[in-house]
Amino acid sequence: MNEPDQRIVQYIEAGRDRFIADLKEWLAIPSVSGDPAYATEVRRSAGWLTEYLRGQGFPTVEIWDTPGLPAVYAEWPAADPSAPAVLVYGHHDVQPVEPLDEWDTAPFEPVEDGDRLIGRGASDDKGQVLFHTLGIRAALAASGAGAPPVTVKLLVEGEEESGSVHFADLLRDRRDRLRCDAVVISDTTMWAADVPSMCTGMRGLTEAEVTLRGPSSDLHSGSFGGAVPNPLHAMAALMAALHDADGRVTLPGFYDDVVPLTDEERALFAKLPFDEDEWLRTAGGSRAAYGEKGHTTLERVWARPTAEINGMWGGHTGPGGKTIVPREAHAKISFRLVAGQEPAKVQQAFRDWVAANTPHGVEAEVHIPGGGVRPCFSPIDSPAVKAARRAMERAFGREVLFTREGGSGPEADLADVLDAPLIFVAVGLDDDRIHAPNEKVEIPLLLKGAEAAAYLWEELATALR
């Protein structure tokens, strides 16, 4: 582990007050993307960021309009035109603030409370976008260079909190400008303030709805029951057969493409201070951990694919009895996918499996809404992840562990459209109350983020060359 660069540390310390004052100014703009009443504020936020980035020295700063709310793009070319390019992703829109009466302070009048900065967007995601500017300037000041060692591109979206509806199109339209060798995501969390960590992947998703049809109308169970197939029985059997006794999904080939966890990654997961009882409380008071045999809870939610039955219905569900053989049965299923799996392949495997397992006399229809979300994953021994880890370890002065995310966001589009590895350099905490009243960020962690960002460019310049 390298010692911290004192020139960078001192630059960041000296710049702290100015940085926090600037961040507060930005946080005061209520850029709520989910509420059309705030659209002008989201635009004002994009305008503020544009001016700010110009002031910080970015030679190119542009507002990128979408059919919805604007993103901000900035670029700082490396002195050496053959140097790698790195894209930093974040967002400048925020979640709504209701219920207002649960806030101890006004959400858009940010206040400092000791080491904390409280206000909507402090952690998610304005604070984490802005630490990059302090990081770049610290790195340039320390090196005396006029330009970073990699071309730094910054893409700050304005619709992340309202579903990123135009984001994939924006990426496709601007693919040439966004071309890069790695994408740095600064919109997630670390394990804990004293357990710095990096996320290395997000699960993908695909969904399906199954309809099983029997007779053309509900039948009297006295006259016909036991003598014709019952679609609900068939559905129950089908859904029960989706997992085996070891909790594994039974679709043929389902695990074939899964990139297995390495021994090193499993060992690093195991180092995270994880309290399963406490976790079960966050799982709605679930009474037991459950899942694929041979894997820990963290491995199950982060690195193993799943099938979940999301809903089943059919027949008579109202009050009182109704003695029928129902005409049809329905179920909704979702699959979480991990590194190596392709949604289209899983969709086909599911269609084939339903066809092969539907009993004679029952007709099956599988509806698959959309193409799904591909998983994203950067191996922990890949050059980009190793470089970012070195930068984080140098800033935090301790070992950086790895996590993954069980769900997925617009990050999957970044990896897909730009075809570049993702690296997650983020300093939010799970208790930052993002999306909730009294959102805060720990200022010392933002400054550590800036320091890590300052080391990152040099590390990536060497690693990606």
* Nearest CB to Zn ion, comparing residues 187 and 432: 187
Q: What is the 3-state secondary structure (H, E, C) of the chain?
A: CCCCCHHHHHHHHHHHHHHHHHHHHHHCCCCECCCHHHHHHHHHHHHHHHHHHHHCCCCEEEEECCCCCCEEEEEECCCCCCCCEEEEEEECCECCCCCHHHCCCCCCCCEEECCEEECCCCCCCHHHHHHHHHHHHHHHHHHCCCCCCCEEEEEEECCHHHCCCCHHHHHHHCHHHHCCCEEEECCCECCECCECEEEEEECEEEEEEEEEECCCCCEEHHHHCCCCCCHHHHHHHHHHCCECCCCCECCCCCCCCCCCCCHHHHHHHHHCCCCHHHHHHHCCCCCCCCCCCCCCHHHHHHHCCEEEEEEEEECCCCCCCCCEECCEEEEEEEEEECCCCCHHHHHHHHHHHHHHHCCCCCEEEEECCCCCECCEECCCCCHHHHHHHHHHHHHHCCCCEEEEECCCCCHHHHHHHHCCCEEECCCECHHHCCCCCCCEEEHHHHHHHHHHHHHHHHHHHHHCC
Q: Are 384 and 423 in contact (CB under 8 A)?
A: yes
124 contributes a contact to Zn ion by CB under 5 A: yes
The pair phi, psi for residue 449, each rounded to 5°, is: -60, -45
Considering only residues 64 to 93 of the shown chain, the ones binding Zn ion according to CB under 5 A are none
State both tokens at 85: 């390019």
Q: Which is nearer to Zn ion, 125 or 405 (CB)?
A: 125
Measured from the CB atom, the residue of 175 and 435 that comes closer to Zn ion is 435
Q: Of 50-58, 62-70, 181-189, 418-426, which segment contacts Zn ion by CB under 5 A?
A: 181-189
Decide if 414 contacts 422 (C-beta within 8 A). Answer: yes
For residue 91, the minimal CB distance to Zn ion (Å) is 6
Q: Which stretch binds Zn ion (CB under 5 A): 56-64, 123-131, 236-244, 358-366?
A: 123-131
Find the farthest-apart pair of alpha carbons in the chain and give their distance in angstroms, rounded: 89
Q: Which is nearer to Zn ion, 92 or 203 (CB)?
A: 92
Q: In the set 187, 299, 411, 439, which binds Zn ion (CB under 5 A)?
A: 187
Amino acid code (one letter) for 198: M
- Tell me the window of 31-39, 121-129, 215-223, 414-422 that interacts with Zn ion (CB under 5 A): 121-129
Nearer to Zn ion, 187 or 458 (CB): 187
Nearer to Zn ion, 148 or 409 (CB): 409
Q: Which is nearer to Zn ion, 22 or 160 (CB)?
A: 160
Structure tokens at 390: 């070195």
- Residue 156 C-beta: closest distance to Zn ion, Å: 11
181 makes contact with Zn ion (CB under 5 A): no
Question: Under rule CB under 5 A, how many of the chain's residues touch Zn ion?
Answer: 3
CB of 433 to Zn ion, least distance (A): 13
Give the number of other CB atoms < 10 A from CB of residue 444: 13
Least distance between Zn ion and beta carbon 188 (Å): 8
Q: Least separation, in Å, of the C-beta of 14 and Zn ion?
A: 29
Q: Nearer to Zn ion by C-beta: 181 or 405?
A: 405
Q: Least separation, in Å, of the C-beta of 89 and Zn ion?
A: 10
> Rounded to the nearest whole angstrom, what is the least distance from the CB of residue 94 to Zn ion in the complex?
9
Radius of gyration over every alpha carbon of the chain, rounded to an integer in angstroms: 25
Kindly tell me which of 85 and 422 has the beta carbon lying closer to Zn ion.
Answer: 422
- Phi then psi dihedrals of residue 4, to 5 deg: -60, 150
157 binds Zn ion (CB under 5 A): no
Stretch that binds Zn ion, among 170-178, 182-190, 400-408, 439-447 (CB under 5 A): 182-190
Nearest distance from residue 198's CB to Zn ion, in Å? 16
> Would you give the binding string for Zn ion spanning residues 319-358, x where CB under 5 A is met?
----------------------------------------
Distance CA 42, CA 68 (A): 10
Stretch that binds Zn ion, among 7-15, 184-192, 436-444, 451-459 (CB under 5 A): 184-192
Q: Which one of the spans 120-128, 176-184, 217-225, 424-432 is the region binding Zn ion (CB under 5 A)? A: 120-128
Confirm or reject binding of residue 393 to Zn ion (CB under 5 A): no
Indicate the residue among 92 and 336 with the shorter CB distance to Zn ion: 92
Q: Does 125 bind Zn ion (CB under 5 A)?
A: yes
Query: Of 210-249, which residues contact Zn ion (CB under 5 A)?
Result: none
CB of 442 to Zn ion, least distance (A): 16
Stretch that binds Zn ion, among 186-194, 245-253, 374-382, 393-401 (CB under 5 A): 186-194
Please identify, using beta-carbon distances, which residue of 198 and 208 lies nearer to Zn ion: 198
Query: Which residues lie near Zn ion (CB under 5 A)?
Result: 124-125, 187
